Amino acid sequence: MKLRAKIVDLEAAGKPIAILNKNDARLLRVAPLERVSIVYDNREIIALIDVTDTFVSEGEIGLFESIIETLKVKDNDIVDVHPAPKPVSIS
């Protein structure tokens, strides 16, 4: 799913956190604390997600600082987002 990046000026102790609109999360079939793959310009990161009705609009994904730094993404850039497989330790 292609989503527009929304820079979130928050940090979570270096953990990659992304915020999805509830409807986009439903379309991706992911729930809070599940993982998604975010790809931009041939860079990829696996992020934990949180879900909101209001903080980001449909078609947007809120990205915390660690993701912004890793992907070198800017506000309004288009990123690819897909569900990520669960780690072996959780499966």
* pLDDT in the model for residue 91: 53
Banded pLDDT at 67 (limits 50, 70, 90):
very high
The pTM assigned to this predicted structure is 0.90
- The strand pairing partners of 39, in sequence order, are 44, 80
What whole-number percentage of the chain has pLDDT above 70? 91
The Cα 23–Cα 74 span in angstroms is 23
Better-scored residue on pLDDT, 2 or 12: 2
Using DSSP's 3-state secondary structure scheme, residue 55 falls into coil
pLDDT tens per residue, range 28-52: 999 999 999 999 999 999 999 999 9
- pLDDT reported for residue 85: 83
